[in-house]
């Protein structure tokens, strides 16, 4: 006599972590012992029969019934992509994270079969990602933060819903939620967790500090330090064109942060270096932010995208032509973006401000560059030549950030010397001269009288 617990039908879709998967899994066979209500429940979940499921559950069958492979009705419905069945089972008390004999959860199955509606639904109920890349508690990464540690009670959006402020262990932090396409793709999740292992080692005063991440439950998030002074984009909108010395000091902050990322092993290519991804700390210094965390890190000598990048992923206004043309690229794409940021700080407006985003990218590909309209003195001491060197059409001819830092430090020394001379022993007389336009001053007697007319 056959065991009733085994059942006599095959699932259309198998466990996402079963050792052997077939391209064309067998369709459901009709051989089912309907007197075994638990097996019947599994069959109905496989078929998406809401009415039948309710009927069986009303008869008293355990909603968490397990077959010989420890798979539950929720596993089956998640594989099949039946959000209505998943919702019903959860409402009737189904455990959200049961593991089958291979360690797979309903969420892991839904992700494997790319059932997006089910993924979102399980995520809302606190489904766990652990089975996809964590085998036991010892393997939980150091950066992992429990979602319950983040307090969003006073949360506000920082940038168009991309980042939110939260409280974590008594401090304010910035929290970025990953896109659904990352959570749905098992390979991207694995690559993402590998990247986080690298990011947790990054420590530099000109790079926004990575604090941790939520990867074992949905939604998956990145937690970084929060810098309330905002980004360089907002600063430039308020201030307009910056003085040469301020421009050079800001440029050095950016270059030092980028040099650190480029000289990390494996190297990190930002690809999206632009003013809104550069933040100001309390002391007024700049920090590079958002360096590829939501994108796969580029760790080889050169990179070529599998498919052309889309405009909505980042601003074409600051992107090197080789990226737009979907050619191989390396760290020099960030040098190109850097040149445009320097020029914007001096000019007081974004590059090709009157052009649309894609028009700008096409202009770069035609070897057009934004015009230099600011007074020549603002580009003194080789700043203009540095900008032109950095946006060279040939990436091989662009300098490294280490070389850029050396040139900027020399320019900074000269500008600092000039500033000290202006504010030296005779600086007070220049100030008095300006005041003398409004007041008559008797320097000999050290007294002054207002001129009344």
Which residues have a Cβ under 8 Å from the Cβ of 274 and sit 6 or more positions away? 233, 314, 315, 317, 318, 337, 340, 341
Q: Indicate the DSSP class of residue 391.
A: T
Of 320, 307, 292, which is closest to residue 224 (Cα–Cα)? 292
Are 107 and 127 within 8 A, CB to CB?
A: yes
> Angle 331-320-381 (CA atoms, 0-180°, nearest 5)?
80
Strands 286-288 and 278-280: antiparallel
User: What is d(CA 44, CA 54) in angstroms, rounded to the nearest whole number?
Assistant: 10
DSSP β-bridge partners for residue 221: 177, 214
Of 329, 302, 297, 305, which is closest to residue 210 (Cα–Cα)? 297
Torsion over CA: 362, 366, 367, 370 (sign)? negative
Catalytic residue among 100, 109, 272, 330: 272
Are 270 and 318 within 8 A, CB to CB?
A: no
Torsion over CA: 421, 427, 431, 437 (sign)? negative
Active-site annotation holds for 97: no
Residue 51 structure tokens: 């009415």
Residues in the chain: 453
CB neighbours of residue 65 within 10 Å: 21
DSSP β-bridge partners for residue 288: 207, 278
Catalytic residues: 272
């Amino acid at each position: 006599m056959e065991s009733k617990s085994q059942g006599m039908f095959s699932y259309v879709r198998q466990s996402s972590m079963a050792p052997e998967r077939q391209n064309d899994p067998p369709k459901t066979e009709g051989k089912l012992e309907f007197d075994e209500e638990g097996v019947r429940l599994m069959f109905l979940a496989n078929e998406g029969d809401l009415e039948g499921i309710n009927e069986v559950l009303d008869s008293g069958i355990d909603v968490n019934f397990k077959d010989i492979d420890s798979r539950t009705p929720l596993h089956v419905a998640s594989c099949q992509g039946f959000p209505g069945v998943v919702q019903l089972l959860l409402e009737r008390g189904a455990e959200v994270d049961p593991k089958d004999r291979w360690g797979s959860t309903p969420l892991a199955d839904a992700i494997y079969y790319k059932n997006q509606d089910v993924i979102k639904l399980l995520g809302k109920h606190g489904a766990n990602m652990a089975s996809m890349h964590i085998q036991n508690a010892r393997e939980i990464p150091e950066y992992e933060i429990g979602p319950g540690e983040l307090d969003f009670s006073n949360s506000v959006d920082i940038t168009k819903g991309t980042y939110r402020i939260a409280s974590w262990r008594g401090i304010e932090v910035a929290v970025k939620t990953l896109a659904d396409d990352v959570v749905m793709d098992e390979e991207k999740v694995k690559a993402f967790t590998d990247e986080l292992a690298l990011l947790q080692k990054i420590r530099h005063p000109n790079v926004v500090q990575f604090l941790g991440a939520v990867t074992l439950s949905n939604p998956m998030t990145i937690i970084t330090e929060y810098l309330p002074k905002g980004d360089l984009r907002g600063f430039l909108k308020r201030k307009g064109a910056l003085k040469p010395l301020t421009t050079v000091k800001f440029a050095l902050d950016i270059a030092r942060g980028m040099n650190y990322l480029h000289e990390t092993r494996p190297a990190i290519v930002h690809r999206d270096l632009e003013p809104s991804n550069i933040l100001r700390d309390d002391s007024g210094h700049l920090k590079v932010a958002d360096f590829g965390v939501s994108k796969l890190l580029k760790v080889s000598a050169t990179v070529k995208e599998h498919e052309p990048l889309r405009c909505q992923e980042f601003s074409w206004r600051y992107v090197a032509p080789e990226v737009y043309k979907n050619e191989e690229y390396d760290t020099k794409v960030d040098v190109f973006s850097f040149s445009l940021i320097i020029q914007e700080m001096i000019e007081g407006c974004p590059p090709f401000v009157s052009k649309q985003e894609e028009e700008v990218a096409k202009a770069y590909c035609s070897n057009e560059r934004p015009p230099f309209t600011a007074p020549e003195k603002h580009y003194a001491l080789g700043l203009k030549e540095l900008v032109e060197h950095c946006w060279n059409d040939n990436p091989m001819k662009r300098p490294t950030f280490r070389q850029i830092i050396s040139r900027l430090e020399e320019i900074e020394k000269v500008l600092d010397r000039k500033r000290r001379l202006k504010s030296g022993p005779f600086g007070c007389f220049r100030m008095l001269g300006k005041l003398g336009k409004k007041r008559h001053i008797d320097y000999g007697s050290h007294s002054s009288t207002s001129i009344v007319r």
